[in-house]
Amino acid sequence: MFKGYVQIYTGNGKGKTTAAIGLALRAAGSGMKVFIAQFLKKRKCSEHKALERLSDLITIKRYGEGFVKAHPERKHILAVRKGIEEVKKIINGGEYNLVILDEINLLPSLKLINVEEIIDIIKNKPKIVEIVLTGRYAPEELIQIADLVTEMKEIKHYYSKGIKARKGIEY
CA distance 77 to 113: 8
Nearest to 24 by CA among 127, 134, 124: 134
Q: Is residue 137 within the footprint of a copy of itself (CB under 8 A)?
A: no
Taking CB under 8 A as the criterion, the residue among 69, 161, 162, 165 binding a copy of itself is 161
Minimum CB distance to a copy of itself, residue 160 (Å)? 10
Site string for a copy of itself, 77-116 (x = CB under 8 A): --------------------xx------------------
Distant-in-sequence, close-in-space partners of 93: CB < 8 Å, separation ≥ 6: none
Bridge-based pairing of strands 34-39 and 6-10 is unpaired
CA distance 120 to 20: 22
What is the distance between the terminal CA atoms of the chain, rounded to a whole angstrom?
A: 35
CA dihedral 12, 13, 18, 24 (to 10 degrees): -60
Q: Which stretch binds a copy of itself (CB under 8 A): 4-12, 62-70, 75-83, 107-115?
A: 4-12
Minimum CB distance to a copy of itself, residue 95 (Å)? 15
Distant-in-sequence, close-in-space partners of 30: CB < 8 Å, separation ≥ 6: none
Minimum CB distance to a copy of itself, residue 31 (Å)? 7
Minimum CB distance to a copy of itself, residue 104 (Å)? 16
Give the footprint of a copy of itself on residues 18-77 (CB under 8 A).
Answer: 18-32, 45-51, 53-54, 57
In the complex, which residues of this chain contact a copy of itself (CB under 8 A)? 2-3, 5, 7, 9, 11, 13-32, 45-51, 53-54, 57, 97-98, 130, 143, 146-158, 161, 163, 166-169, 171
